[in-house]
């Protein structure tokens, strides 16, 4: 039986990380060519974020040292499944808190007295169905949905007055059939009865790059 060193191929995590870095810089270069922003000013003001992102990668995805393995006694192990989807089709809660760094969030919420909450993912899609929630006490409720790169789909309750503010640097919005797309989006949508209502649901959706669909 012989011992030999192994040179593992770059992990999927490393490919995703550096691929994401290249995509972001490519988008910035494209926007600079289109005279949407000045990349020199962006780099000058925000270059410390590069160190922050690299530090996050080192903490979350530390590199593994190369080890001596026996080819006859061990089997190649698949890479870890770092992209995970949080899914709950029957979640019951009056307050919603769900956060991920990388991965999708799919939730269908039921509540007898919804009090708002937060849902966020740095990279990933968010699909949230709150069409079956109720609010039994007067006042404003606040729901925040946020991410860096990804899409958001939200199913709203039909009988609750609402205000929806959606923000994206680059995106495409479809809010109850009303379309809005482009750069620097920040529209606010209000139901007709919002100003007079005693019970109101306030939704804030924020993405750097992403599409938003409200149903």
Q: What is the pLDDT of residues 145-192, one digit of tens each?
A: 998 888 999 999 989 999 999 988 888 899 998 898 888 888 899 999
Task: Tell me, yes or no, whether 170 and 138 share the same domain.
Answer: yes
Q: Is 79 a member of any domain?
A: no
pLDDT (average), residues 112-132: 92
Check: CB of residue 142 under 8 Å from CB of residue 182. Answer: no
20 and 63 fall within a common domain: yes
User: Do 99 and 119 contact (CB within 8 A), yes or no?
Assistant: yes
24-30 long-range contacts (CB < 8 A, ≥24 apart) are: 27/170, 27/209
Q: Measured between alpha carbons, how far is 148 from 57 in angstroms, rounded to an integer?
A: 16
| Domain with 26 in it | 3-70
**Do 119 and 204 sit in the same domain of this protein?**
yes
Q: What is the pTM of this model?
A: 0.64
Q: Please, what is the end-to-end C-alpha distance for the chain in angstroms?
A: 63
For residue 166, being part of any structural domain is answered with yes
- For the chain, how many structural domains are there in total? 2
52 and 126 belong to one structural domain: no
Q: pLDDT for 5-20, tens place per residue?
A: 444 444 555 566 666 7
pLDDT of residue 214: 95
Contact between 82 and 100 under an 8 Å Cβ cutoff? The reply is: no
The pair of structure tokens assigned to 12 is: 């999927």
What's the confidence (pLDDT) of residue 67?
A: 47
Question: Looking at the domain assignment, is residue 17 inside a domain?
Answer: yes
The answer to the question of residue 102 being in a domain is: yes
12-33 and 39-46 are packed helices; what angle lies between their axes, rounded to 10 degrees? 130
Q: Which of 119, 185, 182 is nearest to 153 (CA)?
A: 119
Query: Do 120 and 193 belong to one domain?
Result: yes
> Considering the domain boundaries, does residue 208 fall inside one?
yes
């Amino acid at each position: 039986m012989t011992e030999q060193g192994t040179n593992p191929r770059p992990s999927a995590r490393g490919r995703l990380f550096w691929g994401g870095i290249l995509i972001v810089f490519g988008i910035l270069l494209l926007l600079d060519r289109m005279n949407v922003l000045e990349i020199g000013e962006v780099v000058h003001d925000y270059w410390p974020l590069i160190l922050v992102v690299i530090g996050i990668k080192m903490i979350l995805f530390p590199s593994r040292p190369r080890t001596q393995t026996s080819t006859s006694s061990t089997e190649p192990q698949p890479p870890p499944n770092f992209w995970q989807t949080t899914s709950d089709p029957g979640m019951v809660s009056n307050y919603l808190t769900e956060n991920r760094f990388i991965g999708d969030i799919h939730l269908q919420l039921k509540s007898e007295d919804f009090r708002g909450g937060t849902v966020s993912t740095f990279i990933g899609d968010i699909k949230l169905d709150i069409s079956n929630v109720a609010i039994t006490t007067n006042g404003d409720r606040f729901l925040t949905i946020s991410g860096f790169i990804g899409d958001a789909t939200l199913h709203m309750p039909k009988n609750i007055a609402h205000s929806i503010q959606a923000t994206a640097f680059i995106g495409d919005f479809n809010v109850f059939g009303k379309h809005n797309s482009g750069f620097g989006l920040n529209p606010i949508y209000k139901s007709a009865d919002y100003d007079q209502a005693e019970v109101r649901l306030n939704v804030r959706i924020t993405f750097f790059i992403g599409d938003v669909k409200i149903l």
